[in-house]
Amino acid sequence: MTLKSWYVSIATIVLLFVASARSEEPKSIDSSRMDQAEVKLLRQSIERKDKQIADLQSQVTKLQEQLQSLGVAPQAITTTQPAVDRPSKRILFLQLDLWGRGEKEVNKAIDELKPDQLFNVMTPKGKEIISFSKVFLEASEMNKKRFHDWNAPSPVVYDDKFTPMLEAVAKVRPDVLWIVGQIGTKDEDKSIAEMKKAMAGTGTRINTTTAINSHTSIEVRHFLWRLSKETGGVCVDNEGNVIDAEPSAPFSIPLTPPPPKEKPSVLKN
């Protein structure tokens, strides 16, 4: 048989197969059969992809063996990108100070947010927690103005009610929670454990600051520092510097005149 006649035979078989398939094609196909066909096609596609991955892995192994035979040690290949210091996306401010520096710092921090960041503010009032908004808002100029026009209630904080406040915070799952103000505790270990339990599974970093009052006791300062340390956040001083060393002495802000130009907020996002 010549090559030409072989091609003719193959073509004839294909045409007969297509004609036969068309003649046997049903007039209508129900949805269940279509679903089965789609599942079958999907499985076949997955099997092909798995085979391609296995082939690539085999090729990589062979290349590594060739490099080793040449005395070259192949470097480890990582599938993760290097860590990049990116701005936080969803930022929640828990405002515990409405009359002093706390209010000013929150106002400045919100003004400094980028348009692609989202924010909200919560203020405790006894057993309740009042939110500026029901949802996180874009840091647009309009929403920033809305916040500045917001008549926030005067915060009333009870130490024994702080854990329930964090449980309310956990429901909205912010990337970062700024606790702006001072909170005390009679049992640091117990309070830290309860707060971490309340925020478990959220991935939220808790940031704190000792910059709100002119004098902060060593107990409060240590509690704020430890809370942020154990939740992946930071504790910053009155200049916005991260406090790395464990506090061991009472903190006092020197009484110096304010600078002529207002500094950026210490609450960096």
pLDDT digits (tens, 9 = 90+) for 104-146: 889 999 999 999 999 999 988 767 788 999 999 999 999 999 9
Q: What does the radius of gyration of the chain's CA atoms come to, in whole angstroms? A: 32
Q: How far apart are CA 269 and CA 252, in angstroms?
A: 25
Residues 155 and 43 in one domain: no
Residue 143: inside a domain, yes or no?
Answer: yes
Number of domains in the chain: 2
Residues 110 and 240 in one domain: yes
Distance of CA 251 to the CA centre of its chain: 32
Residue 16: inside a domain, yes or no?
Answer: no
Confidence of residue 71 (pLDDT cuts 50, 70, 90): low
What domain range is 170 assigned to? 90-252
Residues 59 and 120 in one domain: no
Residues 57 and 95 in one domain: no
Residue 130: inside a domain, yes or no?
Answer: yes
- pTM of the entire predicted model: 0.60
Do the Cβ atoms of 98 and 155 come closer than 8 Å? yes
Residues 94 and 48 in one domain: no
pLDDT digits (tens, 9 = 90+) for 13-27: 544 444 444 444 444
Residue 112: inside a domain, yes or no?
Answer: yes
Q: Decide which of 78, 99, 132 is a domain's last residue.
A: 78
Q: Which of 124, 152, 147, 151 is nearest to 137 (CA)?
A: 147
